[in-house]
């Protein structure tokens, strides 16, 4: 590889990963802020606390920082050890993404059914009317107001839950805007949203699959670029260290 080509790849590779390092720092900061500011704020799936927004942001941010560190230091210091470590980590990540994506596609119906059951279980047993930070009151209220829905499948999911075991009540946020008021969820089903939240959220997500796919393609392209660039740098550093012209690539 010529000196200009090696320098170009090395510079672009380093700059791209600096941007990813900054992105990782931002995600990590957001995750920590959410954890500190909204400690105990429940997710829609209390059984899977690790899926909460703060934990996911912290994990993705930390992983991005580690990968970018290996990439930048390996490129700048021309360290074959760091470059091959980065290459192996990206390969493992690529394989994990492929396996998880394939399993999610194959078992999509099972996942949908399980997800619905877990949402209903969380609604039934973890929703309460107290103001403690570990309840789902605010989360479900926000979801139902945003998507104009009631319950997971329909409004009957709220009947006789642990928060009101002897009543067929629903939260007031299930009421139609024209009939909304304090205690409206205890008056009857005629003034309630009939659609469940799960199907509306699923429809909202499907309408944005193009954006999700585009993000996935960008991530895949960056990973492929990282794999090729890190291996080129790894091989070139090894070759230049054995040649008399190695110093010209510093």
Percent of the chain with pLDDT over 90: 12
The pLDDT score that the predictor gives to residue 150 is: 94
3-state secondary structure the chain: CCHHHHHHHHHHHHHHHHHHHHHHHHHHHHHHHHHHHCCCCCCCCHHHHHHCHHHHHHHHHHHHHHHHHHHHHHHHHCCHHHHHHHHHHHHHHHHHHHHHHHHHHHCHHHHHHHHHHHHHHHHHHHCCCCCCCCCCHHHHHHHHHHHCCCCCCCHHHHCCCCCCCCCCCCCHHHECHHHCCCCHHHCCHHHECCCCHHHHHHHHHHCCHHHHHHHHHHHHHHHHHHHHHHHHHHHHHHHHHCCCCHHHHC
- Give this prediction's pTM: 0.69
The pLDDT score that the predictor gives to residue 158 is: 93
Break the chain into its structural domains and give their ranges.
3-249
More reliable by pLDDT, 46 or 215: 215
């Amino acid at each position: 590889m010529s000196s200009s080509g090696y320098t170009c790849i090395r510079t672009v590779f380093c700059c791209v990963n600096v941007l990813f390092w900054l992105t990782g720092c931002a995600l990590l900061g957001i995750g920590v802020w959410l954890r500190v500011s909204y400690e105990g704020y429940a997710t829609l799936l209390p059984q899977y606390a690790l899926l909460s927004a703060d934990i996911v942001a912290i994990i993705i941010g930390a992983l991005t920082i580690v990968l970018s560190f290996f990439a930048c230091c390996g490129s700048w210091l021309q360290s074959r050890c760091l470059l091959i470590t980065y290459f192996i980590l990206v390969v493992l990540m690529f394989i994990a993404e492929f396996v998880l994506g394939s399993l999610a596609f194959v078992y999509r119906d099972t996942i949908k059914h399980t997800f619905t059951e877990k949402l209903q279980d969380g609604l039934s047993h973890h929703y309460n009317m107290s103001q403690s930070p570990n309840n789902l009151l605010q989360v479900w209220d926000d979801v139902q107001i945003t998507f104009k829905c009631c319950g997971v499948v329909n409004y009957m999911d709220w009947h006789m839950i642990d928060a009101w075991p002897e009543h067929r009540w629903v939260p007031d946020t299930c009421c139609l805007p024209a009939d909304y008021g304090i205690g409206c969820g205890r008056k009857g089903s005629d003034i309630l949203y009939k659609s469940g939240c799960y199907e509306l959220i699923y429809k909202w997500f499907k309408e944005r699959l193009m954006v999700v796919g585009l993000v996935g393609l960008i991530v895949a392209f960056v990973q492929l670029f990282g794999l090729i660039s890190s291996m080129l740098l790894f091989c070139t550093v090894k070759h230049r260290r054995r040649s008399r012209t190695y110093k010209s690539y510093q």
